[in-house]
Amino acid sequence: MSDRGQTIAQALSEAATTLRRVEIAEARREAMSLLTHVLGCDRLFLFTNRDDALTPEQGERFRALVARRARGEPLQYITGHQEFFGLDFLVTPEVLIPRPETELLVEAALEVGPREEAFVCDLGTGSGCIAIALLNERPRWRAVGVDLSSAALEVARRNARRHGVSERLCFVAMDLFSAFAARAQFDLIVSNPPYVAAADLPALQLEVRAFEPRIALTPGDDPLSLIRRLLVEAPLFLRDEGFLLFEIGFGQEQAVKEAIDGAIWRVLEVRRDLQDIPRTFILRRR
């Protein structure tokens, strides 16, 4: 990208060309997202003011952001934002970027959980998107968000404050349930755990494997190790007839079913995502 004084239309065209060269699928959409971030405007402004010239400072900043995206850095880390369940979340490289398929987990929890009061545990909370989305929809629910990463929890706290749920949502840095007393206290336990085998990380997209936190992607050699722990430990903390909901990866449905103790759990549903991939397990404690 070159000269000073480019118009909005020219800057977008060059940025989209740059991003297409590195095979970014939605190059123009991402270029627009970067420019709205630089200008502090919405997309309508870009259309209605397409012949306006960028200042030298705006052009320089825009070119720098496009270069970062062309090197593979996720758009969400560059802008610091990601939409999830109709809410805008702050995201940093300390947290996994919220995915559309994880909205299935929120939808399912809202469907099976009580309409009135409930106490929810969100394991591996990351940005806090799951717990915050739930509390935003259910004003009488309370939750605790758990994560090993203190840096991730700081992002989650900021998001909780932004969305006005911090009085009903606390955060704890720990490994699964390790700091909780072993007693039935939660109505729902929800989790989007790391479920990628360490050996499979090199096959992931560059923007995932090189930029998102490894701890949020893989539990190690056994991709289901944390899910197996959930299935064993969660009953100690769930109330009678409480629900456990968690996300799985491609091709993991059968192995997870084999790990479920039918004397403890009823499998209510395995919900599929928009690509028809089994994605969300919904279990109920017997």
Which residues participate in the annotated binding site for S-adenosyl-L-methionine? 124-128, 147, 192
Known binding-site residue numbers: 124-128, 147, 192-195
Residue owning tokens 């700081």? 154
Q: Which residues lie across from 281 on neighbouring strands? A: 246, 270
Residue owning tokens 């099976």? 112
What is the 8-class DSSP label of residue 197? B
Contact 152, 125 (CB under 8 A): yes
Q: From CA 80, how far away is CA 275, in angstroms rounded?
A: 27
Contact 109, 120 (CB under 8 A): yes
- Which token pair is 160? 């909780």
At 44, phi and psi to the nearest 5? -60, -40
Angle separating helix axes 8-21 and 27-39, nearest 10 degrees: 130
How many CA atoms are closer than 13 Å to the CA of 212, on its beta-carbon side?
Answer: 25
Burial class (CB in 10 A: 0-12, 13-18, 19+), 199: exposed
Query: First vs last Cα of the chain: how many Å apart?
Result: 61
- Which token pair is 169? 């949502």
Q: What is the largest CA-CA distance in the chain?
A: 69
SS3 264: coil
Known binding-site residue numbers for substrate: 192-195
Pairing of strands 141-147, 81-84: unpaired
Q: Which residues lie across from 173 on neighbouring strands? A: 147
